């Protein structure tokens, strides 16, 4: 009865309200579910926003990393371009005067070192003697490097006196000491254009503290026009022998040449030079300078003739290279036979005024083969003296390297004539010649090297010679950090000063040990 009554009432109301009533009932029944759905939508929106913010942060971080990588790539491309430009250059000078940045003969280019190959440091360390790069800008860069060594020298095995070719006797001041022998600090790089390079250096010889030119502050500027033409000016080495074309400090010995090389060679002076690679493996250097050796000589002591000329050409025919700086010894272990051959010529008009003192840095003095300085008053014991003379020297060199072994030699010729004299002297000209030979072997790859060296002079006032045996230990397997020991035998040495183990007139044995570092 009740249901019948309800149906009758609904029928009386009609279809419109009936539908409305149904919708209201449905909404009432669905109310709790709809509220739950809205709450779920609110949670999903918050999570989406959080994820979008996280994605934005990740994208920003990735963009920063990409920007950093792009900067690193640009920096590496610029450095590679600089290295490729430098690699084609000819050797600048050694012993720091016109350093490794100027001209590098074929050899491994310097590389920047950072963690995982990236530059995360302030500046980078560069191998190959290029030091620390402390500034790298679009307008130029700055590199600082150091070469130094500590030497223990014992000359007690030499005779205490010697007699020259004219019967005059002299006492030797024999040494037994430890010295920080030399310290060189280099500031080098390019400015405005990678082809325009500069170098400034401080060079000290601590064995001659207090003497003139014990500290040298100087430098050089150069511009590379083409691979075959690099022009420079400043303090540089006259390329009169192989040790003066940029091979330093890649020597078997530490800062020491064989006696004959020390006797015949020219030295460093202020001048202008051109150098370059004529073809792959064929190099040259030509220089015009003030005199044979200007370190320790002031401008007022020079004559008014700009007439010192030196030139060298050398060829590396088999591999187009001869190791870093074209130096001595095969630390790098050539799997193919590497060879080199060179020719050097130097001419200079000299006088007593333009000669350096015996203790000046890298002095090069014209001496007789008994050690007598040519311009010494009464040099020939005849009451006569030479005021001016013309020096002409030539040398040829050759070498080979193969699987840790090396053999290098050089022959020297020297003419001294055209004398201006006071009083009488017994000669109108002088001719001396001689040679040096060096052989080395890596007894333990990149760790231990043995070498022997010998030289002899055939002179008009004696035939001196020397012979040496040495070991180089590379404790960190780095070419430019080593402990060197050497036993040297001298026979009437015609050369010597405090920064080398020779003593003028030295006859006997010398022992020295050296700790060397160059970066």
- Look at residue 199 and tell me whether its pLDDT is greater than 60: yes
Q: Percent of the chain having pLDDT more than 90? A: 62
Residue 37: inside a domain: no
Name residue, tokens 């060189």.
184
Of the three residues 28, 60, 86, the one that is the final residue of a domain is 86
Q: What's the predicted TM-score (pTM) here?
A: 0.77
Calculate the average pLDDT of the chain.
83
pLDDT at 92: 39
- Same domain? 56 vs 153: no
- Same domain? 50 vs 105: no
Of the three residues 86, 106, 137, the one that is the final residue of a domain is 86
- Look at residue 166 and tell me whether its pLDDT is greater than 70: yes
Q: Report cis status (omega within 30 of 0) of the bond before 249.
A: yes
Residue 3: inside a domain: no
Residue 223: inside a domain: yes
Instruction: Express each pLDDT in 415-470 by its tens digit.
Output: 999 999 999 999 999 999 999 999 999 999 999 999 999 999 999 999 999 999 99
CA angle 364, 370, 375 (to 5 degrees): 50
Q: Please tell me the distance from the alpha carbon of residue 268 to that of residue 219, in angstroms, as a whole number.
A: 12
pLDDT at 81: 61
Q: Are strands 112-113 and 124-126 parallel, antiparallel or unpaired?
A: antiparallel
Q: Return the higher-pLDDT residue of 106 and 168.
A: 168
Residue 115: inside a domain: yes
User: What are the φ/ψ torsions at residue 120 (nearest 5 degrees)?
Assistant: -100, 0
pLDDT at 204: 86
- Same domain? 93 vs 187: yes
Q: Please tell me the distance from the alpha carbon of residue 435 to that of residue 456, in angstroms, as a whole number.
A: 6
Q: Report, as an integer, the average pLDDT of 258-262.
A: 97
- Same domain? 75 vs 136: no
Q: Considering only 110-114, 150-154, 229-233, 306-310, which range has the smallest mean pLDDT?
A: 110-114
266: tokens are 């020219």
Q: Considering only 31-35, 53-57, 324-328, which range has the smallest mean pLDDT?
A: 31-35
Instruction: Express each pLDDT in 59-96 by its tens digit.
Output: 888 888 888 777 777 766 766 665 554 444 433 333 33
Q: Report, as an integer, the average pLDDT of 185-202.
A: 94
- Same domain? 121 vs 49: no
- Same domain? 129 vs 55: no
Q: Within 13 Å, how many C-alpha atoms sit on residue 425's CB side?
A: 21
- Same domain? 440 vs 366: yes
pLDDT at 93: 38
Looking at beta carbons, which pairs linking 76-79 to residues 24 or more positions away fall under 8 Å?
A: 76/112, 78/136, 79/112, 79/136
- Same domain? 210 vs 74: no
CA angle 348, 454, 366 (to 5 degrees): 20
- Same domain? 403 vs 512: yes
Of the three residues 56, 86, 116, the one that is the final residue of a domain is 86
- Same domain? 94 vs 64: no
- Same domain? 113 vs 207: yes
CATH of the domain at 256: 2.40.160.10
Instruction: Express each pLDDT in 4-32 by its tens digit.
Output: 443 444 344 444 444 333 433 344 444 44
Residue 34: inside a domain: no
Q: Within 13 Å, how many C-alpha atoms sit on residue 259's CB side?
A: 33
CA angle 401, 402, 406 (to 5 degrees): 40
- Domain count along the chain: 2
Q: Please tell me the distance from the alpha carbon of residue 322 to that of residue 317, in angstroms, as a whole number.
A: 10
Quickly count: other Cβ atoms within 10 Å of residue 157's Cβ.
Answer: 16
Identify which of 440, 269, 279, 273 has the alpha carbon closest to the alpha carbon of residue 362.
269
Q: Report, as an integer, the average pLDDT of 271-279.
A: 96
Residue 9: inside a domain: no
Residue 19: inside a domain: no
- Same domain? 54 vs 159: no
Q: Which domain holds residue 51?
A: 43-86
Q: Considering only 207-211, 250-254, 507-511, which range has the smallest mean pLDDT?
A: 207-211
Q: Please tell me the distance from the alpha carbon of residue 173 to that of residue 175, in angstroms, as a whole number.
A: 7
Residue 32: inside a domain: no
């Amino acid at each position: 009865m009740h249901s019948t009554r309800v149906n009758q009432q609904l029928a009386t109301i009609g279809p419109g309200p009936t539908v409305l009533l149904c919708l209201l009932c449905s909404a009432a029944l669905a109310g709790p579910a709809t509220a739950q759905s809205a709450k779920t939508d609110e949670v999903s929106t918050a999570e989406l926003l959080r994820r979008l913010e996280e994605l934005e942060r990740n994208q920003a971080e990735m963009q920063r990393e990409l920007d950093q990588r792009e900067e690193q790539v640009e920096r590496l491309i610029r450095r590679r371009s600089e290295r490729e430009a430098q690699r084609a250059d000819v050797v600048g000078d050694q012993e720091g005067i016109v350093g490794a940045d100027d001209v590098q003969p074929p050899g491994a280019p310097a590389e920047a070192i950072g963690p995982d190959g990236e530059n995360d440091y302030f500046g980078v360390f560069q191998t190959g003697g290029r030091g620390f790069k402390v500034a790298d800008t679009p307008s130029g860069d700055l590199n600082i490097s150091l070469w130094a060594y500590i030497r223990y020298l014992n000359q007690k095995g030499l005779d205490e006196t010697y007699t020259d070719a004219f019967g005059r006797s002299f006492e030797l001041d024999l040494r037994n000491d430890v010295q920080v022998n030399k310290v060189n600090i280099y500031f080098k790089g390019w400015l405005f254009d990678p082809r325009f390079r500069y170098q400034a250096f401080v060079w000290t010889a601590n064995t001659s503290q207090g003497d003139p030119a014990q500290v040298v502050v100087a430098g050089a500027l150069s511009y590379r026009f083409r691979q075959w033409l690099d022009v420079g000016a400043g303090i540089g080495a006259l390329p009169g022998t192989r040790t003066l074309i940029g091979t330093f400090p890649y020597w078997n010995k530490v800062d020491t040449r064989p006696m004959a090389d020390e006797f015949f060679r020219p030295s460093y002076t202020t001048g202008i030079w051109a150098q370059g690679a004529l073809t792959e493996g064929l190099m040259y250097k030509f220089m015009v300078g003030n005199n044979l050796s200007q370190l320790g000589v002031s401008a007022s002591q020079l004559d008014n003739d700009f007439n010192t000329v030196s030139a060298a050409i050398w060829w590396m025919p088999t591999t187009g290279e001869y190791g870093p700086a074209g130096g001595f010894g095969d630390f790098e272990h050539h799997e193919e036979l590497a060879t080199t051959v060179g020719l050097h010529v130097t001419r200079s008009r000299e006088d007593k005024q333009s000669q350096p003192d015996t203790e000046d840095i890298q002095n090069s003095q014209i001496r007789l083969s008994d050690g007598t300085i040519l311009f010494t008053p009464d040099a020939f014991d005849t009451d006569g003296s030479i005021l001016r003379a013309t020096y002409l020297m030539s040398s040829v060199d050759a070498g080979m390297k193969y699987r840790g072994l090396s053999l290098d030699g050089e022959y020297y010729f020297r003419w001294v004539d055209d004398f201006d004299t006071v009083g009488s002297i017994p000669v109108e000209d002088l001719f001396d010649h001689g040679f040096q030979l060096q052989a080395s072997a890596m007894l333990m790859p990149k760790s231990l090297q043995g070498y022997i060296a010998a030289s002899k002079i055939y002179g008009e006032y004696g035939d001196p010679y020397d012979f040496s045996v040495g070991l180089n230990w590379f404790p960190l397997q780095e070419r430019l950090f080593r402990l060197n020991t050497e036993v040297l035998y001298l026979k009437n040495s015609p050369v010597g000063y405090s920064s080398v183990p020779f003593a003028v007139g030295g006859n006997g044995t010398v022992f020295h040990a050296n700790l060397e570092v160059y970066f």
